[in-house]
A and B are shown apart, each in its own frame.
Chain A
Amino acid sequence: QVQLQESGPGLVKPSETLSLTCTVSGAAISKYYWSWIRQPAGKGLEWIGRVYNGGYSYYNPSLQSRVTMSVDTSKNQFSLNLNSVTAADTAVYYCARDSSSSYKEDWFDPWGHGTLVTVSS
């Protein structure tokens, strides 16, 4: 059974970098694509981007200039860095496994439980 767990600081100051890690169990991280998705309180879901072992990544164009993702196969983890954060980046951040290498034929399953990140001074 594949399980994902997000971890990282729950509070980040404006203009700083938000850094989160997703630890994967039950699956080899090198075999799949992995995504980050976020959800502001009381609002809908926003896809941030995806990453694959070997340096491949693709980001939502609306966030592309501020996002970096990477994979650490030795720890079976992948990570998210979002720089120059503002209050608008306050959200629950989820990590999830992608079903496919194809953008069009892709769905997210399973998801992590999510971690709340608040941007505030």
Chain B
Amino acid sequence: QSVLTQPPSASGTPGQRVTMSCSGSSSNIGSNPVNWYQQLPGSAPKLLIYRSNQRPSGVPDRFSGSRSGTSASLAISGLRSDDEADYYCATWDDSLSSRVFGGGTKLTVL
């Protein structure tokens, strides 16, 4: 059972905008910035968003992140077939004194 809760699946059609959530508590998302990782099938995770809403160089601006209270969200606009992947949120948990990940959301592009 992950400390951060993500819906197991999400879907959308090409060109659509999809959002996925990451729910936590005051000891993790409520206190610390959130990072998002994209894991394409058969590949290692890749940093997508850091400090809740910052994009590393090379990540398209179709990807955006936000954080409010004890939840965070990842939005993908102009959905493409190659966005099909697992997406993980992560942050620091003050109570556990550990970095924690969500269980991941599998995005399907229909």
A111: B residues at CB distance < 8 A: 44-46
Given the interface pairs A44-B88, A61-B96, A62-B98, the reply to whether A108 lies near B103 with Cβ below 8 Å is: no
B104: A residues at CB distance < 8 A: 44-45
Residues of B in contact, count (CB < 8 Å): 26
B2: A residues at CB distance < 8 A: 44
B18: A residues at CB distance < 8 A: none
- Distance to closest chain A CB from B31 (angstroms): 8
Task: Indicate with 1 or 0, residue by residue over A91-118, a CB within 8 angstroms of chain B CB atoms.
Answer: 0001000010001111111111110000
Known: A47-B100, A110-B47, A114-B44. 18 other contacts (CB 8 A): A44-B2, A45-B37, A45-B104, A47-B90, A47-B98, A47-B99, A47-B101, A60-B99, A61-B96, A61-B97, A61-B98, A94-B44, A104-B31, A106-B99, A107-B50, A108-B47, A109-B46, A111-B44
Which residues in A have some Cβ–Cβ distance to B below 8 Å? 35, 44-47, 60-62, 94, 99, 103-114
